[in-house]
A = this chain, B = another copy of it.
Amino acid sequence: MKLSEIVAKIGGELFGVDVEVGQLAPLESADGTAIAFLSNPKYHHQLSDTQAAAVIVHPSVVDVPEHLSIIRSDDPYLYFAQLAWLFHPRAQANHQRHPSAVVADSAIVPASCEIGAHAYVGEHTVLGENCRVLAGAVIEHDCVLGDDCVIHPNVTVYHGCTLGQRVEIHSGTVIGGDGFGYAPVKADGSWFKIPQTGGVTLADDVEIGSNSTVDRGALEDTRIGRGSKIDNFVQIAHNCQVGEHTVIASCTGISGSCKIGNHVVIAGGVGMAGHLTIADKTFIGGGTNITKSITEAGHYASVYPMQTFKEWSKNAVYVRRLADMNGRIKQLEQHIAALGGAKE
């Protein structure tokens, strides 16, 4: 692909020779067939050594070696991502229904869709154009999918769920399983299941990683807003409302009835108690336990710092005595004051 073709497709401004490039590569490992990018200024020094044929750089970057062709873009990282799709186009629906697939009589599946081996589409489910439902995926009855959805192998979508346009769900993920709701039976301490009669709504451009779960609502739908991206092993419990363009990284569990705003970023391994609200644009650090609502955007954390086991053993024991230590400090302060020490 010539640089001029790339610029014609994605934009940016070309400087230098209109060379041909065959692949994307990091600055440090690129060879003469590759185009690289410089996004983080701290790698600027790699420009002088790179073997790449061309580099994508911000307009403000100076000191680019003369022999390098460059494409200037306001956002080199985004440009790289867009260019990557030119080299690795997205797989398209093959417009075939595999003979082993089972599509219920009342389901509506346009001819433009791809239905893989052993996939299942239930009664009254309606698919948009060009959807891909891959091997072993199950979409139960009464679901609605927009156009261009990709349902990877062995995904399960329970009945009555709604997916927007271009929703992508990776393997093993379960959408619409029952929320965890039981009424305690006082007589014998047993648990009486509450029917979960809502569904799940995933808005346009939502992507969900592998082996995640989004439970159906108890009465109304659990919802994930437009453009939000959910990683692997994320649990979204019943009745949650996740906003737009929000990102939730792996191994995070969101308890029931939480309301998470727009443009929120939740790092990996976060746990969140139920019925909480998270303000728009909040950033939650990895491993945080969220036990209260966050009403103000900011960066929040709660990780116990790592040490060697020996050091940890010495120190952790005092975590259990902090109130006592504080009391002792207070007493010392009183004694000092009594002894004439200037207490602030």
On A, residues with C-beta under 8 Å from B are 24-26, 75, 77-78, 80-82, 84-85, 87-88, 90, 98, 100, 102, 116-118, 120, 122, 134-136, 138, 140, 152-156, 158, 170-174, 177-178, 180, 182-186, 188-195, 197, 205, 207, 209-213, 215, 219, 227, 229, 231-233, 235, 237, 245, 247, 249-251, 253, 255, 262-263, 268-269, 271, 273, 285-292, 298-323, 325-326, 328-329, 331-333, 335-336, 338-344
Contacts and interface: CB of A to CB of B under 8 A. Distances in A.
Main secondary structure, interface of A, reads loop
A131 to B, nearest CB: 17
For the complex formed by this chain, how many copies does it contain in all? 3
Contacts of A152: 156, 158, 177
A180 B305 CA distance: 26
Contacts of A343: 335
7 contacts: A135-B140, A158-B171, A172-B172, A291-B305, A318-B326, A328-B329, A339-B341
B307 A315 contact: no
A117 B156 CA distance: 13
Given A232-B177, A336-B332, A315 B321 contact: yes
Given A81-B192, A81-B193, A102-B117, A315 B323 contact: yes
A297 to B, nearest CB: 11
Contact of A235 (B80, B158, B232, B302): B232
Contact of A268 (B24, B190, B255, B307): B255
